[in-house]
Chain A
Amino acid sequence: MSSNSFAYNEQSGGGEATELGQEATSTISPSGAFGLFSSDLKKNEDLKQMLESNKDSAKLDAMKRIVGMIAKGKNASELFPAVVKNVASKNIEIKKLVYVYLVRYAEEQQDLALLSISTFQRALKDPNQLIRASALRVLSSIRVPIIVPIMMLAIKEAAADLSPYVRKNAAHAIQKLYSLDPEQKEMLIEVIEKLLKDKSILVAGSVVMAFEEVCPDRIDLIHKNYRKLCNLLVDVEEWGQVVIIHMLTRYARTQFVSPWREDDGLEDNEKSFYDSDDEQKEKTDKRKKPYTMDPDHRLLIRNTKPLLQSRNAAVVMAVAQLYWHISPKSEAGIISKSLVRLLRSNREVQYIVLQNIATMSIQRKGMFEPYLKSFYVRSTDPTMIKTLKLEILTNLANEANISTLLREFQTYVKSQDKQFAAATIQTIGRCATNISEVTDTCLSGLVCLLSNRDEIVVAESVVVIKKLLQMQPAQHGEIIKHMAKLLDSITVPVARASILWLIGENCERVPKIAPDVLRKMAKSFTSEDDLVKLQILNLGAKLYLTNSKQTKLLTQYILNLGKYDQNYDIRDRTRFIRQLIVPNEKSGALSKYAKKIFLAQKPAPLLESPFKDRDHFQLGTLSHTLNAKAAGYLELSNWPEVAPDPSVRNVEVIDLAKEWTPAGKAKNENPTKKFYSESEEEEDSSDSSSDSGSESGSESGEEDEEGDSSEDSSEDSSSEPESESGHQSDTENRRAAKRNSKTKGKGDSKDGKKENEKSKTSDSSNAESSSVEESSSDSESESESESESESRKVTKEKEKKAKQDRNRLATDASLLDLDDFNPVSTPVALPTPALSPSLIADLEGLNLSTSSSVISVSTPVFVPMKTHVLLHRMSGKGLAAHYSFPRQPCIFGDKMVSVQITLNNTTDKKIENIHIREKKLPIGMQMHVFNPIESLEPEGSITVSMGIDFCDSTQTASFQLCTKDDCFSVNIQPPVGELLLPVAMSEKDFKKEQEFHG
């Protein structure tokens, strides 16, 4: 025996195969059960021997065969004692296979399984992280209740392990332990809480998974980690992303107020998504209190957007549902493109995605209308895909596209897949009812189909026509006549029944035909389907009531036939009708009303989408797919009326500052900064009077948003991938600093006073410019370019201003509190050379508006994300420079165009002393250079702004960009458009100007 097995070993792979082949045959033939059993015994003996041999190769071979048995679902439990001995094997492959075995059978052989525990406990202390992790994995997978305390201990230790990989496994172990012993919940929650704080991207997904399984209701554990999770999200592995996004969607629905109110005007006609009552109430609230999106809410929406580009369909779907459920309605449109992309994937993905699109397309048609043609059916699609596509096409149909669609449907009707053809006819019926313009067209189209050769098609058409005619019963005598003729040929019971019902209902419109039809039916009554018989009885009754002269005898004949029918339903109906319509001495009071009973107006059927009510399930979930609540489904809560305190998400500052500060400090003090930050305040307060009067209506709200947007942008820029760590740490730094100063500022009464003095006047003036700015930053966010995110490295001043604004407002939206506003004395204030464009706009806008109250320089509505290469990194010896036009008034002079230059160090050394030299400018042109940059860290990046007066021409400005060692000639040529200044003026003023200029 053993030599035989050795032979297998020598042959390795091939031997393995034949071995498996043998086993396969033995499982397939269960007839020889007894023989099989004995051979199994023998084989197992042989395996036992191999396991006991002292050669690793024999053991390995035995283990491989055992795993083969497990894989096939054969019982190998009797080998447990022999296998478990090998748990301490030095050979890692044997060890792993033993683990596989243990996990499979430990539950059945608990006592023996305990023998292995000490090995795992030892392995948990192994210096190799892989071994530690796999020991924890197996230990936690052995479902033996006795070892719960040991598992608990191991999890706690692993959660504090230095290796993130081990911590990840600890997170997995939490779920396992929880399912083994739910009583450990409290202790496990403590571990989860600890692991949630973990900053490793490896751990994030797993711990959120554990959270979802163990304590999905403990939303309070998320608060402090919310921003971290949002920021880590892009880097987490894809599976973790899905789980985190789903969790954050639920979180957002409990923590933020609905962003949908502001869109109501746009989509008023659409039914409110969740609870119409709620929406109504909110709408009224709206007038009282303007909506402000919580910056954290915005952060989530921003940071998930890049994931729409993921290759993983589950991630894309997760983001899509997040946008659907929590983003403002106007922003949800971007998901449709990505969802349509998924339709190229395999059929299972298509199926799920199409289902979700079907639900979405009922609610918001507009989202998918541009992609109408992507839902056209191919003859090679599986039927389930075809019907789903058809469903979506129906939902998308409107007056504008219906003619195209009908043409398309016409192809489908002729499809060889008759089930699909029938579904198409149903669809046409639905389109006809939904879009009144085409009802007649559809009806006549369907009538054409009545002469189709295929019976299923004809039958389906009859049924649909019946429904359509029921909705507008007038003027369709001709069609009814036509259908009456069809009775001779159609055999499908539903269709026959429909025709009879239709004739019965309209018997007064076709007085000649109806009795004749009844006559024919009476002849064939006995051979009809039950469904048809019932309708014959109905028809008879109706005719008896309206035209008893002609049909009295016929009806009685039919009633007699029905009386002796085999089906009791028909006998019942017969008895009922006879009592009701045929007058006799016993007939009760009801017979007087027989006519009313039978010929009452019947409400038309409502042709509705089967996906109509699916929207109460969260999209992308199993429950949505099944249209039934799956076990463990977590409801999405309705938006809260009032947002819970947002400050719970604030993180202790000291930690963050420490963590984020190291990079990006190598920037110069910029003298202009101080100047502006002071003067800004001055201008703010002085200008206010002129503006506040005209703008007061919308101010209070927009102002608030302004604060938001600045906050957002700082959050946003921190979401940059690790590779651009330069930027990131930079912004993070600033953010941390900001928080730092904020907490500091809380106690700072001196500044508070200063604020108070100004607040009344200055905030209203801010409002005007900020309202414009809000829109500009919105448009920017759509493009989300790098240049933009750089320009968005919002400076200290800007943030402070935002904070002030918030301060002055009520406390509800205040993430940021009363703040220190002395730029010089703030110790953590990070001076930055680049001024925030929006800040400049604030300043300039106000500046100008004092001189002329009618024309004010506004921030541009659209700032292109385009950056131009100033210096390529190849030619710049690793220094790369890009320039862009932020389209903001230049701070260096009225006539200058502001230019932003982003410098990147792509080398692995510091680049020192970056400055500008040798300006070669055409006559009249002027340039305000940026201050020399002392040094730029490797991989670092810095954005500086400068001003160039191009003399309103498109001449090129040439200059040299120098580092400590090198000089590179570069030049900037502005496009004409960049030389213009965006200006906002009222229509009246525009006309005035126009007149003035002739």
Chain B
Amino acid sequence: MIHSLFLINCSGDIFLEKHWKSVVSQSVCDYFFEAQEKAADVENVPPVISTPHHYLISIYRDKLFFVSVIQTEVPPLFVIEFLHRVADTFQDYFGECSEAAIKDNVVIVYELLEEMLDNGFPLATESNILKELIKPPTILRSVVNSITGSSNVGDTLPTGQLSNIPWRRAGVKYTNNEAYFDVVEEIDAIIDKSGSTVFAEIQGVIDACIKLSGMPDLSLSFMNPRLLDDVSFHPCIRFKRWESERVLSFIPPDGNFRLISYRVSSQKYVDGSTRICHHISVCWVELTFPCFMLTVGYLNSSLLPLAMAHEETRKNCLVAIPVYVKHSISFKENSSCGRFDVTIGPKQNMGKTIEGVTVTVHMPKVVLNMNLTPTQGSYTFDPVTKVLTWDVGKITPQKLPSLKGLVNLQSGAPKPEENPSLNIQFKIQQLAISGLKVNRLDMYGEKYKPFKGVKYVTKAGKFQVRT
């Protein structure tokens, strides 16, 4: 399947290559460079490139390109998913997936790649198994190894490989037995110019950090499991139990891992029996139609879009939007300046503080500079990338933070067609915006009493306000 792998940094150097079958010359990467040149920025390099003799499937991660060479038909997602798994493993082993880290640990990288693929087919990708085969580098271990001459490589087959629970290694021992769960929810939203929600949904994950001895069998239950719309599971979770009892029952891997990810979508009709809609949000019914609609021919059916708009807002009630933004950005015709005024305030925040607020704006190309005064926090404007970043910090309802001032435009250039959209980041501690609550965690199979903890946090995901 996967023939070879090349790691390429941003400046186009191939700094690592690995072949699982016969050797493929580096020159195959020229096709990749060609495609990279064609695409204006790295984000637009096509993940799949066809060359006369090979196919190149690549991912872009942490400023590195992982380019794999394929010779025959293979599901592209298979390769993409695998490459990401490789990058995850590097991250896991070296703390970061960067060129420097990979170069520093090139031998371990090679050993890992050797174990992860055999003849191009994935062999061991579970981090728990890999760690038994090849021990991650630590300062202590490297000192010990240099004295005793022992090695980083395990000499027996990891027990997990053979069992039905390949994700867990045997003989785990901790003095303090702990199980922590982080419920992290991200709100993806597109907010309209007028402040109404065009699209909103919650993307949640439960990340676990489990340090438990032996073979614990955990079951995690929720107060309101029906909330979870669409869930994907770590392989350790027993699917049948979830289906029947809505309980997550699993023998956990050791260490950090993502237990589930889920989606709470607004695109579902309100169904009183199955969903507790415990937030009541202010809904705007959009009464104004864009000029587009009104110009011709909608006289007869104008009722229809109105009804639809109404229905949409009703559906959107399911996802609470914790902030609102008041904005007025305008560029004057025939003059080289414009006005910029953005205020941000809390809304439906369940009484929790909104912190870590950052506003990022990609200003139009004609903007030369910005002269702004924030009432709170600090801002930077990069005249090269035209990115305005306003680091707001915490929002206090008494005094709403705002950023006001003038925008200098390139003189003579036509004024920008569209106002830039605002990307907002924020964080709310101790709150899962969907209302998801962990009920209890039970452990079976082991005698000791573990220390248990659950943390909730809500963040902005792809949160965009159109202006």
Give me the interface of A with B, judged by CB distance under 8 Å: 9-10, 12-13, 16-17, 20-21, 24, 28, 56-57, 60, 64, 67-68, 70-73, 91-94, 96-97, 99-100, 104, 107, 128-131, 133, 137, 140-141, 143, 163-165, 169, 172-173, 175-176, 179, 201-202, 206, 209, 234-235, 237-239, 242, 246, 306, 309-314, 316-318, 337-338, 340-341, 344, 346-349, 351-353, 370-374, 376, 378-380, 382-384, 400-401, 403-404, 406-408, 410-411, 414-416, 437, 440-441, 443-445, 448, 452-454, 620-623, 625-626, 628, 630-634, 720-724, 783-787, 789, 865, 867, 874, 906
A73, A622, A724: most-surrounded residue (chain B CB, <10 A): A622
Q: Which residues of B contact A623 (CB under 8 A)?
A: 73
Among the listed B58, B105, B240, B267, which residue makes an inter-chain contact with A370, where contact means beta carbons less than 8 Å apart? Answer: B267
Among the listed A104, A128, A631, which residue makes an inter-chain contact with B23, where contact means beta carbons less than 8 Å apart? Answer: A104
Does B122 have its Cβ within 8 Å of any Cβ on chain A? yes
Q: Which residues of A contact B105 (CB under 8 A)?
A: 13
**A997, chain B: closest CB distance, angstroms:** 29
Asked if A17 meets B103 with Cβ closer than 8 Å, knowing A165-B157, A440-B297, the reply is yes
**B69, chain A: closest CB distance, angstroms:** 13
Residue of chain B at shortest CB distance from A347: B43
Q: Is the interface of B mostly helix, strand, loop or mixed?
A: mixed
Q: Which residues of B contact A56 (CB under 8 A)?
A: 149
Q: Is the CB of A416 within 8 A of B466?
A: no
Q: Is the CB of B71 within 8 A of A631?
A: yes
Alpha-carbon separation in the docked complex, A91 to B414 (Å): 71
Residue of chain B at shortest CB distance from A789: B240
B84, B106, B462: most-surrounded residue (chain A CB, <10 A): B106
Q: Is the CB of B292 within 8 A of A407?
A: yes
Residue of chain A at shortest CB distance from B292: A445
List CB contacts (< 8 Å) of B134-149 with chain A: 137, 139, 142-143, 145-146, 149
Alpha-carbon separation in the docked complex, A237 to B41 (Å): 36
Residue of chain A at shortest CB distance from B418: A414
Does B271 have its Cβ within 8 Å of any Cβ on chain A? no
Q: Is the CB of B70 within 8 A of A379?
A: no
Asked if A202 meets B162 with Cβ closer than 8 Å, knowing A10-B146, A311-B233, A313-B81, the reply is yes
Residue of chain A at shortest CB distance from B75: A620
Alpha-carbon separation in the docked complex, A630 to B421 (Å): 41
Alpha-carbon separation in the docked complex, A683 to B334 (Å): 93
Q: Is the CB of B80 within 8 A of A349?
A: yes
- Other than the given A201-B164, A376-B190, 13 more pairs (CB < 8 A) read A13-B142, A17-B103, A92-B153, A141-B119, A239-B125, A309-B239, A311-B261, A316-B232, A621-B73, A621-B75, A786-B241, A865-B244, A874-B442
Alpha-carbon separation in the docked complex, A408 to B239 (Å): 39
Of B10-18, B370-378, B402-410, B428-436, the one with at least 4 CB within 8 A of chain A: B10-18
Alpha-carbon separation in the docked complex, A49 to B40 (Å): 50
Q: Is the CB of B107 within 8 A of A97?
A: yes
Q: Which residues of A contact B201 (CB under 8 A)?
A: 374
**A336, chain B: closest CB distance, angstroms:** 10
Asked if A28 meets B13 with Cβ closer than 8 Å, knowing A141-B119, A383-B44, A411-B466, the reply is yes
Q: Is the CB of A631 within 8 A of B73?
A: yes
**A179, chain B: closest CB distance, angstroms:** 7
Q: Is the CB of B17 within 8 A of A72?
A: yes
Q: Which residues of A contact B339 (CB under 8 A)?
A: none
Q: Is the CB of B161 within 8 A of A374?
A: no
**A940, chain B: closest CB distance, angstroms:** 15
A202, A445, A625: most-surrounded residue (chain B CB, <10 A): A625
Alpha-carbon separation in the docked complex, A634 to B75 (Å): 12
Alpha-carbon separation in the docked complex, A787 to B244 (Å): 7
Alpha-carbon separation in the docked complex, A401 to B152 (Å): 60
Among the listed B19, B78, B291, B466, which residue makes an inter-chain contact with A448, where contact means beta carbons less than 8 Å apart? Answer: B291
Asked if A311 meets B464 with Cβ closer than 8 Å, knowing A17-B104, A406-B292, A441-B297, the reply is no
**A411, chain B: closest CB distance, angstroms:** 6
Q: Which residues of B contact A865 (CB under 8 A)?
A: 243-244
Q: Is the CB of A630 within 8 A of B107?
A: no
Asked if A441 meets B296 with Cβ closer than 8 Å, knowing A620-B77, A720-B240, the reply is yes
Among the listed A235, A239, A348, A632, which residue makes an inter-chain contact with B73, where contact means beta carbons less than 8 Å apart? Answer: A632
Among the listed A172, A374, A786, which residue makes an inter-chain contact with B243, where contact means beta carbons less than 8 Å apart? Answer: A786
Instruction: Give B293-305 as 1s and 0s: 1 = Cβ < 8 Å from A's Cβ atoms.
Output: 1011110010011
Alpha-carbon separation in the docked complex, A205 to B309 (Å): 49
Among the listed A10, A128, A784, which residue makes an inter-chain contact with B156, where contact means beta carbons less than 8 Å apart? Answer: A128
Residue of chain A at shortest CB distance from B124: A237
Q: Is the interface of A mostly helix, strand, loop or mixed?
A: helix
Q: Is the CB of A96 within 8 A of B305?
A: no
List CB contacts (< 8 Å) of B89-117 with chain A: 103-107, 109-111, 114
Give me the interface of B with A, judged by CB distance under 8 Å: 1, 13-19, 21-23, 26, 40-41, 43-44, 46-48, 50, 55, 58-61, 70-78, 80-82, 84, 103-107, 109-111, 114, 118-119, 121-123, 125, 137, 139, 142-143, 145-146, 149, 151-157, 161-162, 164, 166, 188, 190, 198-199, 201, 203, 229-235, 238-241, 243-245, 249, 258, 261, 263, 267, 289-293, 295-298, 301, 304-305, 308-309, 312, 362, 364-365, 414, 416-418, 420-421, 423, 442, 444, 462, 464, 466
Asked if A416 meets B292 with Cβ closer than 8 Å, knowing A24-B103, A318-B75, the reply is no
**A998, chain B: closest CB distance, angstroms:** 32
Q: What are 25 A-B contacts defined by CB distance under 8 Å?
A: A67-B107, A71-B16, A71-B17, A93-B151, A96-B111, A130-B155, A175-B119, A237-B166, A239-B122, A242-B75, A341-B230, A346-B61, A347-B60, A349-B80, A351-B48, A352-B77, A372-B267, A410-B292, A416-B362, A620-B75, A622-B76, A632-B73, A721-B238, A785-B243, A787-B244
**A638, chain B: closest CB distance, angstroms:** 19
Alpha-carbon separation in the docked complex, A468 to B17 (Å): 52
Asked if A128 meets B155 with Cβ closer than 8 Å, knowing A24-B103, A380-B462, the reply is yes
Q: Is the CB of B162 within 8 A of A164?
A: yes
Q: Is the CB of B22 within 8 A of A309?
A: no
Q: Is the CB of A404 within 8 A of B75?
A: no
Asked if A403 meets B293 with Cβ closer than 8 Å, knowing A630-B55, A632-B72, the reply is yes
Q: Is the CB of B75 within 8 A of A314?
A: yes
Q: Is the CB of B152 within 8 A of A93?
A: yes
Q: Which residues of A contact B70 (CB under 8 A)?
A: 622
Residue of chain B at shortest CB distance from A316: B232
Residue of chain B at shortest CB distance from A56: B149
Asked if A130 meets B238 with Cβ closer than 8 Å, knowing A12-B146, A71-B110, A722-B164, the reply is no
Alpha-carbon separation in the docked complex, A130 to B72 (Å): 30
Asked if A453 meets B417 with Cβ closer than 8 Å, knowing A141-B119, A348-B59, A349-B77, the reply is yes
Q: Is the CB of A444 within 8 A of B295?
A: yes
Alpha-carbon separation in the docked complex, A165 to B267 (Å): 46
Alpha-carbon separation in the docked complex, A775 to B216 (Å): 41
B14, B143, B164: most-surrounded residue (chain A CB, <10 A): B164
Q: Which residues of A contact B80 (CB under 8 A)?
A: 313-314, 348-349, 352
Among the listed B143, B151, B234, which residue makes an inter-chain contact with A92, where contact means beta carbons less than 8 Å apart? Answer: B151
**B198, chain A: closest CB distance, angstroms:** 7
Among the listed B81, B161, B229, which residue makes an inter-chain contact with A349, where contact means beta carbons less than 8 Å apart? Answer: B81
**A401, chain B: closest CB distance, angstroms:** 8
**A147, chain B: closest CB distance, angstroms:** 16
Q: Which residues of A contact B364 (CB under 8 A)?
A: 416
Asked if A626 meets B48 with Cβ closer than 8 Å, knowing A71-B110, A93-B152, the reply is yes
Q: Is the CB of B308 within 8 A of A404?
A: yes
Q: Which residues of B contact A173 (CB under 8 A)?
A: 119
Q: Is the CB of A403 within 8 A of B110?
A: no
Asked if A441 meets B232 with Cβ closer than 8 Å, knowing A24-B15, A71-B18, A373-B199, the reply is no
**B318, chain A: closest CB distance, angstroms:** 13
Q: Is the CB of B121 within 8 A of A239?
A: yes
| For the complex of A and B, 9 pairs with smallest distance between CB atoms | A786-B244, A632-B72, A93-B151, A414-B418, A382-B43, A130-B157, A348-B47, A314-B77, A239-B122
Alpha-carbon separation in the docked complex, A720 to B244 (Å): 12
Q: Which residues of B contact A785 (CB under 8 A)?
A: 243-244
Q: Is the CB of A628 within 8 A of B50?
A: yes
